[in-house]
Structure 1
Amino acid sequence: MTIIPPPEPDPAALQLSLARLRAQRGWSYDQLAARSGLSRRTLIEIEQGRTIGTLATWHALAHAFCIPLGDLLSPLCAAHEPPGPEV
């Protein structure tokens, strides 16, 4: 039996997810910080790929955007999908 380790988080996937959602709503860093309870600096560091944040950080962001946490983190899963069967 082969055990496959979980994929490493991809900061680029997370930063694009956050930037896309923030841009879709037209929110500034200050607006998202106020809605999420996170610091402006944390948001900038995530969008610039310097940190991936914690699960609590992403939970606060999902709550601020009123979306399920899984939807916010789905780019991580899509980046590590196993290849489909060969036909």
Structure 2
Amino acid sequence: MPDFAPADDPDFDALRRHLRRLRENRGWTYDELAAHSGVGRATLVSLELGKPRTRGDREQAATTGTLATWWRIASALQIDLGDLLRPLYGTEDQH
């Protein structure tokens, strides 16, 4: 039987920094990325900042997003989904 090592945990902090850099490089606000992607502003803020969202009097945990959400963001930014998600695996572009 092959000996497989468990994968490292994905680096969501690197992904958040990458998303912010891509959005800011385009000069887009959260509202503009929301309009281009169809992803809600509150979801984008939660994805990028990694902070819980508040709904009324209750707090929801920060989201890591769904595949469909990340696909919509990648499409709006006109980049491949793999390029958007690459920082999850420790290959964050430092440019």
Q: Shorter chain as normaliser: what TM range?
A: 0.7 to 0.9
Length, aligned pairs only: 79
Give 1 or 2: higher strand fraction. 2
Deviation at 1:3, TM superposition (A): 1.3
CA RMSD of aligned residues (A): 1.3
Q: How does 1:13-24 map to 2 (within 5 A)?
A: 13-24=14-25
Q: Distance in 1 between matches of 2:63 and 2:12?
A: 7
Give 1 or 2: higher helix fraction. 1
Q: Percent identity?
A: 52
Deviation at 1:74, TM superposition (A): 0.9
Moved more, 1-10 or 59-68: 1-10
| Corresponding position of 2:13 | 12
What TM-score results when the alignment is normalised by the length of structure 1?
Answer: 0.82
The answer (yes or no) to whether the contact 1:11–1:51 under 8 Å persists in 2 is no
- Helix, strand or coil at the partner of 1:52: coil
What TM-score results when the alignment is normalised by the length of structure 2?
Answer: 0.76
Structure 1, unpaired ranges of 5+ = 80-87
Return structure 1 stretches of 4+ with deviation > 3 angstroms. none
Structure 2, unpaired ranges of 5+ = 51-61
